[in-house]
Amino acid sequence: MSNGTLPYDPEADHSFPDERLNEILEAVLGDPEVRAYLEAQNVNPVTRKGYNDHGEKHIEIVRNRALRLYELLKRADVPFNGATDQGLQEADEPVIVALAATLHDIGHVVHRDDHTYYSIIIAADLLDRLLEPYYDIGERVRMKGEILHAILCHHSAEEPLTTEAGVIRVADALDMERGRSRIPYERGGRGINTISSQAIDRVELLEGDTKPVLVEITMRNAAGVYQVDGLLKNKLEGSGLEELVRIVAVNTTGGDDRLVERIEL
């Protein structure tokens, strides 16, 4: 398994049963309708609103980091309750995580504002078809509910009630490197989201010592503090993962005039 900067590898050994995930994920990522949505969903946030990327690359990064976060928590024997509470299997946990990560921003095709609520409407329709080959009707209803719960809680006031949903909430904020803001930056965008994202060089998800997960963030200047202490901190709070994730950000700017050298959440 990578450190969170490389794609999820279905051929690698994992700390969870991965056969079902690998089969379903391959089918979902090859689905023409899903791919069309992932392309179309970037128009409203990027082209029309000038925000950071919310398209295919963002989705790939969030899914990879969600699965990496899930992997590290499973390695530390952290219990997941989404599938368990519904009488589903452990093998269904990573499916919930991966599909929620893949579909969490799909509502952007309707509007950036309140996109979370549009996402669950559109994803609900897609999931009926995507899950049918793998689950009976009772299992589909439960899987669908858990995936939609995780999607809903990624960017809304609703409290994540499952560890799977908490993983999606945090993973969404972990896509913060400078590449995400490339398009608005090249178009002249200089909003705080764009500038702060440009300041982040690297994000790594590592096995921690005092907590199961260590997130190491490398910044090139102090503007990156907004991504860490603002956006990521807000997503971590209320996720249910607060006591499981340690976040350290280091400013690598040379010289003695650094406003911020290191912050830790």
CATH of the domain at 233: 1.10.3210
Range of the domain at 198: 19-264
pTM: 0.89
For range 11-25, the mean pLDDT: 97
- Tally of domains in the chain: 1
- From residue 198, alpha-carbon distances to 106, 194, 235 in Å are 25, 6, 20
pLDDT digits (tens, 9 = 90+) for 45-96: 988 988 888 889 999 999 999 999 999 999 999 999 999 999 999 999 999 9
Closest CA to 99 of 36, 157, 146: 146
Is residue 14 in a domain? no
pLDDT at 264: 72
Separation of alpha carbons 109 and 96, rounded Å:
22
Closest CA to 106 of 128, 126, 131: 126
Is residue 143 in a domain? yes
Is residue 200 in a domain? yes
pLDDT at 190: 44
Is residue 64 in a domain? yes
pLDDT digits (tens, 9 = 90+) for 28-37: 999 999 999 9
Quickly count: other Cβ atoms within 10 Å of residue 253's Cβ: 16
Residues 6+ apart with CB under 8 A from 141: none
| Higher-scoring residue by pLDDT: 252, 74 | 74
Is residue 147 in a domain? yes
Neighbour order of strands in the sheet with 213-219: 200-207, 213-219, 245-251, 262-264
If pLDDT is split at 50, 70 and 90, which confidence band does 230 have?
confident
Query: Residue 182 pLDDT more than 70?
Result: no
Is residue 243 in a domain? yes
Is residue 12 in a domain? no
pLDDT at 259: 45
pLDDT at 121: 97
pLDDT at 51: 82
Query: Residue 207 pLDDT more than 90?
Result: yes
Separation of alpha carbons 166 and 74, rounded Å:
14
Is residue 11 in a domain? no
Quickly count: other Cβ atoms within 10 Å of residue 109's Cβ: 19
